Amino acid sequence: MKNYLSSKIDLLRDRLELEHLRVRAFYLPAFIFILTTLTLYNAYHVYQHHDIWSSMPEAGGNAFHFCEANRMDEAIRQPSNTWSNLGYLIVALFALTLAVHDYKNKDRRSSENFLVMYPFFSVLYGLSCLYLFIGSFMYHASLTLVFQKLDQTGLYSVIGMILILNIYKINPYHYRKGEWKNSHVFAKLLVIVLNIAFFKWLWKFNINVLVPIMLIFTFLTALYYIKRVSNTDYFINYMYAAFFVLFAAGSIWMLDRERVVCNPQSALQGHAMWHLLTAVSMFFIYLYYRSGTLKVMPEVIDK
C-alpha cells in the first residue's frame, strides 16, 4: 500500500512538474497570507464599532438577501461572509507561486506541460483569484455599490479565464502565412479584453443570469474537449472534483439566499461556505490545467 501511494505521488509530481518545487518556495506566500490576514484583522479590531461606509451608496441585488445578520453600524457588516474570502487569497498565492517557479525553470520551453510552458496563464489565473478576493472581501465588509461591482467582475474574471482556457486548449493553433502558429498570445489578450468588458459594461447584467450562462458554456467547452478532442491530456478527475464541489457550493448558496437553512446570528453561514467551497473548486480547476499537455503542433503546410 505504501509503495502504491508513493508511486501515485511521484506520478502526480511528474505530471504537474512539481518535482523541483521545494517547500521554501511557499515561505513568502505564507508570509504574505499571514501578514494580510493580521493587517485586516487589526484594522477590523480598531474600527469594529465604527460605521465607516455610511457615506457610500448601498449595494443592491443579492446584497441584503443573504442569511447573515447585517451589522450596519460596524466596520464589517457581514463578518462570516467577509472572512471566508481568504480562501480565494490562498488559491491566488498558490497559482502565482507556481508561475514564479515556472518562470525560473530554464527548461520550460521544452516542457509538454501546458502551464509550465506558458506560466503567464498561471499569472492571469492567480490575479483573477486575487481580484475576486479583494472585491468579495470588501463587498461583504461594506455592502456598498462600488465594491459590489468589484465582487461581480472578480467572479466574472475567474469564470471568463477558465472559459478562455477551455477554448484555447480545444484549438491552440492558427494558420498564418503558410504555417501553423500557437494562439497563446491571442488567448492572453482575450482574457485582458474580456476583463475590461466585464468592468465597463457586462457587470450591469443580472448576476443571477449571467453567472449560470457562463458556467454552462464553461462546462460545455470542457465536456467538448473530453469527448471530441482528448480524454487523456489532462487528469479529468480534477475537473470532475471541481464541478462536484461547485455544484455543492451552488446548492448551499441557494439554500442560504432563500433562507431555507438559516441562522442569522451563527458564525456558520451558507454564503461563507459558498466562498470556501468555490475556492476549493478553483484550486482543483487550477490543478486540472496544471496536469495538461498541449496538442502537438500541426505540420507546416507548403505555400
Q: What is the mean pLDDT of the chain?
A: 88
Average pLDDT of the residues in 189-215:
90
Q: Tell me: the pLDDT tens digits for 47-74?
A: 888 889 989 999 988 888 899 999 999 9
**75 close to 41: Cβ distance less than 8 angstroms:** no
Q: Centre a 10 Å sphere on the Cβ of residue 86 and count the other Cβ atoms it contains.
A: 17
Average pLDDT of the residues in 210-224:
91
pLDDT of 298 reads 65
Average pLDDT of the residues in 193-203:
90
Q: Is 70 helix (H, G, I), strand (E, B) or coil?
A: coil
Name the pLDDT band for 159 (thresholds 50, 70, 90).
very high
pLDDT of 301 reads 45
Name the pLDDT band for 277 (thresholds 50, 70, 90).
very high
Q: Tell me: the pLDDT tens digits for 5-32?
A: 565 566 667 767 777 778 888 999 999 9
Please indicate whether residue 88 or residue 207 has the higher confidence score (pLDDT).
Answer: 88
Q: Rounded to whole angstroms, how far apart are CA atoms 250 and 211?
A: 11
pTM: 0.91
Q: Rounded to whole angstroms, how far apart are CA atoms 68 and 60?
A: 16
Q: Write the burial class of residue 8 (CB in 10 Å: 0-12 exposed, 13-18 middle, 19+ buried).
A: exposed
The dihedral region occupied by 123, where left means phi > 0, alpha psi between -120 and 50, and beta the remainder, is alpha
Q: Tell me: the pLDDT tens digits for 124-140?
A: 999 999 999 999 999 99
pLDDT of 7 reads 58
**170 close to 81: Cβ distance less than 8 angstroms:** no
pLDDT of 208 reads 85
The H or E element spanning position 66 is: none
Phi, psi of 293 (to 5 degrees): -120, 150
Assess whether pLDDT exceeds 50 at residue 300. no
**8 close to 237: Cβ distance less than 8 angstroms:** no
DSSP lists the bridge partners of residue 176 as 179
Alpha carbon separation from 230 to 66, 224, 227, 300 (Å, rounded): 41, 9, 7, 22
> In sequence order, what DSSP letters do the residues of 77-115 get, joined into one string?
SSHHHHHTTHHHHHHHHHHHHHHHHHHH-TTGGG--BHH
**153 close to 199: Cβ distance less than 8 angstroms:** yes
The H or E element spanning position 166 is: helix 145-170
Please indicate whether residue 111 or residue 72 has the higher confidence score (pLDDT).
Answer: 72
- Domain ranges (residues) in the chain: 2-290
pLDDT of 303 reads 35
